[in-house]
Structure formats: structure tokens, C-alpha cells
Amino acid sequence: TDCLTCKAAPQQLSAAQVDAGHGIVVMTDILYNSFFLTGSSWSKLGSVPLKHVSVGPAGIWGVNKDDKVHKFSGGDFFPVLGLELKQLDAGGQGHVVGVTDTDKIYCLNADRAFSIQKEGILTWDQLQGRLRYFSCGPNGCWGVNSIQHIYFTVKVLPNTCEISGFIRINGLGVKIEVGTDGRVFILNQSGQLYERAGISDKVPQGTEWKEIAFQEPLKHASYDLGHLWLVTKCGVILECTD
């Protein structure tokens, strides 16, 4: 990714956050509307106001401004009882991870995430540590904490949420996203974007951060199927390819 080709993606006014996974692209705007990309335009995704949405092997999930968790099913989002989260990620291998407003880390195993009913309370497993933002992919999970330190764990087992333990990675960041193919992108406080280089089966945590330079600061990034989706600080959506 030394050179990216970027273009303005289909626009939606005041974009806040974007997430791509399993060939689907979803986004929220600053008014808590959710959308999904169909061809060259955004279509409304359900009727529930949400501040954050995530899509991946576990389906489409979101949280509202009161941190209530929702799952998309049957054409709309419905509330999921059991835990309140400020951010979640459906990009793991069927499991869902997230963080609370006190930075506690939780995981919902793949069986529970898949078999969810519209009634009933879900049981989440708490993971050790504190993180402000957490994202999983096929080769492990990445997170950042309240002082912008970066952490990696080589596995959170999808069926049990068992974790191998966190290791600290060099650098600083405020948001980190793992693509469903394992590529890792991080944004720092200034809105600069970096990709983790050197990721392999032998070195799943990679070796270094490589900056991807943009003229304008960014506030969100997500990667799936060869496409890097970005939201600039001004709310413009960009679509980039290698």
C-alpha cells in the first residue's frame, strides 16, 4: 500500500463512521442514521438510530447513543439485552467483541452471536485488560487503550472467547480496524492513517507501521476485499484500492 488509488465514494451527508466486511459496507452519519452501500448509492439500513455499526461473519451489529447493543435481523435492528457497549466489532470468526464506557473488554462467542433470539439476555465473557477500541480478524485482535497504547492478541477463540493474552505493540493510536483478510489499519489522534506491515503466520503481530499519507485528516477507516474505506474529518467518504 505504498501507493493507493482513491476516489470519492458515493456520498452521504455528514458521514461519521464506516465499516466493511464480508463484501458489505455499512456506515452511520452524525444524526445516527445507518446505511448500507448498494451499487453506487447508500440505502437506509433499518429504522433504529445508531452511533456505530459493524459488519462481518457474525452479521450486522450496532450500538445506539445510550450504548444499547442491537443486531440486524429480518429487515431491522432489534435490541440485545445483557450488556451495554460503546463500540463493538463483528469482524471476528463469528464472535463479537466490544468495549464498555469504562473500557472493559467483552466477547460474545460465535454460538451465542449466531443463535440470538429477539427475547432473552445474552451472556458475554469479560476479557482481561482495558481497551477503548477493539477489532478482530482472522489472525488475531487489535485494540487501543485510553492512553493510545496499542495491544495485540494472537487469538480470541470464536467458540469459547478464550484469549491468548495481550502484547504491547509500538506506536500510538485512537482507532484500529482489522480487515476480514487480516490487514490492520490504525488512525492516530491527528487523523493520520497507518497500515501494519510484515504480518504473516509466523509474525501475526507484524513488524512495523507504514504511513498512508492523505492531505486531509481522517476520522474512520475500514478495509475489506481490496477496498479501503475512509471518512475524512469533514465527513467525506473515500474508496481506495492498491
pLDDT digits (tens, 9 = 90+) for 22-36: 999 999 999 999 999
Write out the CATH class of domain 5-241: mainly beta
What dihedral angle (degrees, nearest 10) is formed by the CA atoms of 196, 198, 199, 201?
Answer: -170
Rounded distance between C-alpha atoms, residue 226 and residue 241, angstroms: 6
CB 172 within 8 A of CB 150: yes
Q: For residue 10, is it left (φ>0), alpha (ψ between -120 and 50) or beta? A: beta
CB 166 within 8 A of CB 152: yes
CB 171 within 8 A of CB 148: no
pLDDT for 1: 46
pLDDT digits (tens, 9 = 90+) for 140-157: 999 999 999 999 999 899
User: Looking at residues 209-226, what average pLDDT do you find?
Assistant: 94
pLDDT for 12: 82
Q: Is a pLDDT exceeding 90 seen at residue 183?
A: yes
The length of the chain, given as a count of residues: 242
Average pLDDT value over all residues in the chain: 94
pLDDT category, 2, cuts 50, 70, 90?
low
Model pTM greater than 0.85? yes
DSSP classification of residue 101: T
Nearest by Cα to 195 from 180, 205, 208, 204 = 208
pLDDT digits (tens, 9 = 90+) for 42-91: 999 999 999 999 999 999 999 999 999 999 998 999 999 999 999 999 99
pLDDT for 119: 60
Helix, coil or strand: residue 112: helix
